[in-house]
């Protein structure tokens, strides 16, 4: 190749480059603008997919995050080029500013195709790793629980304790206490790799506990696996992981080894992976059968704390109407015998009472309540009296029948409001309506009435929730009432 040929090629490249950089950038700026519009539309689709994935418990992939940042930077830079080009004053359509614009366009041209093809809307998310713990929704009321709460958190902190049992009668506040322990800030400081909450309830089988535990730690079981297969999977998955397991409302003892909660000796030079189980039950015998290192009985509240809880639910403005009502209120709170659920239930009933005669009658009813034994409770159990008071206080027999109807669902079952209302309509407990919408409106009104009387619970405590449940003690008493 001769020198003149080489020089010709060099000059040709210079001329091509010069023709590009010295040309009017209008067409290339317009091209970039259209590309930026396509990317913007793709980014909107990606953001929608990311939002949907997060609602389904997934997270954005690292590749998507990187491409998203690049695409956003590209769109931003194109917008800056368009602004600069629009503000540029070209003499006869051209100026030296065109060189700068063309140079910036050239740089963006090289990445536009890669970005448009790289942003894949169908591959934006991956499953999240299971969180160590998810905070449980619960009220901030810890009346009478603070001492037990601090004590049990310290017992969890003690590495000599692996199994902690909490027992007491229904309605005494065991579940509420357990939730406050679960949410306590010191629990997160213990750095358990898995903190799992499972509701057992009466009749719960080991298989259900295994399935629930596996689901919480994101371990997959096959439908046809035997109990031994499940035990093996749980054991091998959890043996080198620290785990804090909360079991609420167990009615029988379970072999914790079959839940993968056996303490495994630490490997040489490695930290011990603790397994701690804390559970609630109504039976002290279950605590002993579970070989609990710590057994804690939840007692009724002392009177001063019981009065504080009753006052909070009945309302100071009601109780302080006059001294005689205050005196009657203190006697009624005493009749509730320190049972939190009774104090709350009766307190809510009394919040609507204004006359001395009404308070006298309520006190008389509580003192005369004599009901047969049910679910292991004593005949004069205050919770039974509290339930009867709330039950009798409902506006009519139809409302009482609506409440009893809720006991048809299993214990701890989350009942869909729509299904409950359909059941009420079918049983004729909602009638004389002009349209189905009116019937459903009336049904929702009745649900809120029962919830405000603390006879039904709104899931998560939210009025707009789609589900409700019946406290297990309330359900026991509702079944007893229905059987008579």
Residue 321 tokens, joined: 């109407």
d(CA 476, CA 136): 25
* CATH architecture of the region 394-484: Orthogonal Bundle (1.10)
Q: What is the pTM of this model?
A: 0.62
Whether 278 and 290 have beta carbons less than 8 Å apart is answered as: no
Beta-carbon contacts of 256 under 8 Å, excluding residues fewer than 6 positions away, are 163, 262, 275, 277, 290
Per-residue tens of pLDDT for the chain, all 484 residues: 554 554 445 444 433 444 444 456 677 778 778 878 887 887 888 788 777 766 565 677 777 778 778 888 878 887 887 787 777 644 444 455 666 666 777 667 667 666 666 666 566 665 555 566 677 777 666 777 888 999 999 999 999 999 999 998 777 888 999 999 999 999 988 889 999 999 987 778 999 999 999 988 888 888 888 889 999 999 988 888 899 999 998 988 999 999 999 877 766 666 778 999 999 988 888 898 999 999 998 988 999 999 999 999 999 999 988 899 999 999 989 888 788 888 888 888 889 888 999 999 888 877 764 333 322 445 455 566 667 777 887 889 999 999 999 999 987 789 999 999 999 999 999 988 889 999 999 999 999 889 877 788 888 656 677 899 888 778 877 887 887 6
* β 457-458/467-469 pair status: antiparallel
CATH of 301-383, one of 1.10.8, 3.40.630, 3.30.70, 2.60.40: 1.10.8
Beta-carbon contacts of 54 under 8 Å, excluding residues fewer than 6 positions away, are 125
User: 146-297 falls under which CATH superfamily?
Assistant: P-loop containing nucleotide triphosphate hydrolases (3.40.50.300)
Whether 168 and 287 have beta carbons less than 8 Å apart is answered as: no
d(CA 388, CA 180): 29
- Strand 163-167: give its sheet, edge to edge: 194-199, 243-250, 275-281, 163-167, 294-297
Positive or negative, the CA dihedral 348, 349, 355, 356 is: negative
């Amino acid at each position: 190749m001769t020198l003149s040929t080489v020089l010709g090629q060099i000059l040709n490249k210079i001329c091509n480059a010069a023709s590009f950089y010295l040309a009017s950038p209008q067409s290339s700026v317009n091209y970039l603008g259209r590309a930026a519009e396509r990317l913007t539309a793709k980014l909107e689709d990606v953001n929608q997919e990311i939002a949907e994935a997060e609602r389904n418990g997934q997270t954005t992939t690292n590749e998507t995050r990187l491409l998203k940042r690049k695409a956003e930077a590209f769109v931003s830079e194109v917008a800056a080029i368009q602004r600069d080009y629009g503000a540029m004053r070209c003499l006869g359509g051209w100026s030296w500013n065109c060189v700068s614009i063309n140079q910036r366009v050239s740089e963006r041209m090289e990445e536009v195709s890669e970005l448009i093809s790289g942003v894949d809307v169908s591959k934006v998310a991956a499953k999240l790793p299971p969180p160590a713990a998810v905070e449980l929704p619960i009220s901030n009321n810890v009346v009478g629980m603070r001492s037990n709460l601090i004590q049990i958190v310290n017992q969890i902190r003690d590495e000599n304790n692996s199994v902690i049992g909490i027992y007491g009668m229904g309605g005494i506040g065991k579940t509420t206490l357990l939730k406050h322990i679960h949410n306590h800030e010191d629990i997160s400081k213990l750095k358990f790799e898995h903190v799992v909450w499972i509701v057992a309830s009466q009749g719960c089988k080991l298989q259900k506990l295994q399935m629930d535990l596996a689901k919480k730690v994101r371990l997959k079981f096959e439908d046809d696996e035997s109990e031994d297969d499940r035990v093996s999977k749980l054991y091998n998955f959890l043996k080198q992981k620290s785990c804090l397991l909360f079991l609420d409302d167990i009615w029988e003892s379970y072999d914790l080894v079959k839940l993968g909660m056996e303490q495994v000796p630490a490997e040489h030079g490695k930290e011990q992976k603790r397994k701690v189980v804390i559970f609630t039950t109504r039976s002290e015998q279950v605590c002993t059968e579970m070989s609990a290192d710590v057994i804690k009985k939840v007692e009724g509240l002392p009177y001063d704390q019981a009065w504080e809880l009753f006052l909070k639910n009945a309302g100071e403005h009601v109780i302080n109407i006059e001294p005689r009502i205050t005196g009657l209120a203190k006697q009624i709170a005493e009749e509730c015998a320190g049972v939190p659920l009774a104090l709350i239930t009766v307190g809510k009933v009394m919040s609507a009472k204004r006359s001395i005669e009404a308070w006298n009658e309520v006190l008389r009813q509580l003192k005369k309540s004599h009901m047969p034994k049910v679910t292991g409770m004593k005949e004069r159990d205050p919770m039974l009296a509290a339930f009867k008071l709330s039950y009798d206080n409902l506006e009519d027999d139809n409302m009482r029948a609506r409440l009893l109807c809720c006991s048809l669902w299993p214990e701890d079952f989350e009942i869909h409001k729509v299904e409950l209302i359909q059941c009420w309509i079918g049983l004729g407990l909602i009638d004389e309506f002009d349209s189905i919408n009116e019937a459903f409106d009336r049904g929702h009104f009745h649900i809120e009435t029962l919830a405000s009387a603390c006879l039904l619970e709104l899931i998560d405590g939210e009025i707009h929730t789609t589900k409700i449940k019946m406290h297990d003690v309330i359900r026991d008493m509702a079944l007893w009432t229905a059987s008579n």
